[in-house]
Chain A
């Protein structure tokens, strides 16, 4: 287990900022944050080519032998077909904006070797400290939770031992209006 200086642990807990460390501990603090960031969240997104692959498969099936033999055209079947075609043409003539995925899987990590329990509370779970517990995984003292969250902006904090609210040291943070900091996650 990496044995960090107590003040560096405070930094990892989000109790202090990097600037609060004495100069001789800043390098250790930066290294600790870098290590934490390295095992930190990896957003999982659907590949951008998925849409093209689905369309290619649909085209392949439509062109399969026997399709035209099974299709018998009647005049009235052409009306909705023309309508659908016109709608499709209209849709394709307007360049669609590239959209972000609707949901993103995120891994939250906190280094808290002294903690007995760690949970995650935020806008995504109505700030319920009991809703999303983290589990000890991998390296000693490392707590993680993996969640799938809707795209958008979320505020959160870790709750250590049911009482101590700690901002994520690896994420940007803003004033929570109560004299503490909330971490910010944009997906």
Chain B
């Protein structure tokens, strides 16, 4: 039993050391030492809480590549860590005890794009297989970045999923909204109006008789 515990501890320590070395290798020569130290510290805590560390590494490299002062990069890294925590909690609210890191990263990005924590929970709730939470949140953040309000984004994604189409229907939503905007350019159609049109069409399909609805699958 003692040997097992020692082996387990060594394995955990080895994994943590490996992760730290990976972080060091990715930051080497790309960020100042004080930022590298902060990323290490934040990444250690984030990994212990089940959060992804890749967005932190990317943000540090991005800030340094853009020539942003170190104190501002540090502030952005702390803000991002907070967003990852909020995103993880929001997805957990939807019933996922241990959300995957991809979904958490997508949730944090959605928060940054203007989707609220409550809306992240709503989107995670409707994202049952075959619809992935990460993909749904990415689509929502792209729609929000295009100018579609958060509430309307949730409504559109929910309607598309309820209409029972394949997962690619959700992935194609930003493109569909862009098409709607370009087709209605002469009439000044906004992304929000194009999204509303798509939601109405999806609702009509979902309510059509004989429509295949996705089987509810519980986590």
Contacts and interface: CB of A to CB of B under 8 A. Distances in A.
B92 to A, nearest CB: 21
Contacts of B171: 100, 186
A174 interface: yes
Contacts of A96: 130
Interface stretch (B6-14, B139-147, B192-200, B203-211): B139-147
What is the predominant secondary structure among interface residues of chain B facing chain A? Answer: helix
Q: How large is the interface on B (under 10, 10 to 19, 20 to 34, 35 or more residues)?
A: 35 or more
Contact of A184 (B80, B130, B142, B182): B142
B167 to A, nearest CB: 5
Most chain B CB within a 10 A radius of its CB, from A30, A155, A165, A186 = A186
Contact of B138 (A30, A97, A152): A152
B76 A99 contact: no
Contact of B174 (A97, A100, A165, A186): A186
Given A98-B168, A123-B58, A30 B63 contact: no
Given A98-B166, A98-B167, A100-B168, A121 B142 contact: no
B167 A121 contact: no
Query: Which of B66, B171, B182 lies at the interface centre, i.e. has the most chain A CB atoms within 10 A of its CB?
Result: B66
Interface residues of A, number: 29
Interface in A80-109: 96-100
Interface in A131-187: 152-153, 155, 165, 172-178, 180, 182, 184, 186
B145 A177 contact: no
Interface in A115-134: 121, 123, 126-129
Given A34-B185, A123-B62, A155-B62, 5 more contacts: A98-B167, A98-B168, A127-B58, A172-B174, A178-B73
